[in-house]
Amino acid sequence: EAGVVQSPRYKIIEKKQPVAFWCNPISGHNTLYWYRQNLGQGPELLIRYENEEAVDDSQLPKDRFSAERLKGVDSTLKIQPAELGDSAVYLCASSFGDFSGNTIYFGEGSWLTVV
- Site membership for other proteins, residue 49 (CB under 8 A): no
Q: Mapping DSSP to helix (H, G, I), strand (E, B) and coil, where does residue 75 land?
A: strand
- Site membership for other proteins, residue 99 (CB under 8 A): yes
- Site membership for other proteins, residue 22 (CB under 8 A): no
Question: Which of 24, 48, 49, 82 is close enough to bind other proteins by CB under 8 A?
Answer: 48
What does the alpha-carbon distance between residue 105 and residue 20 come to, in Å, rounded to a whole number? 21
User: In the complex, what is the shortest distance from the CB of residue 30 to other proteins, in angstroms, rounded to a whole number?
Assistant: 11
Nearer to other proteins, 33 or 65 (CB): 33
What does the alpha-carbon distance between residue 87 and residue 75 come to, in Å, rounded to a whole number? 20
Cis previous bond, 43, omega within 30: no
Using an 8 Å Cβ cutoff, are 100 and 93 in contact? no
Nearer to other proteins, 78 or 106 (CB): 106
User: In the complex, what is the shortest distance from the CB of residue 100 to other proteins, in angstroms, rounded to a whole number?
Assistant: 4
- How many C-beta neighbours within 10 Å does residue 64 have? 14
Using CB under 8 A as the criterion, which residues of the chain lie in contact with other proteins when the complex forms? Answer: 4, 31, 33, 41-45, 48, 56, 91, 93, 95, 98-101, 103-109, 111
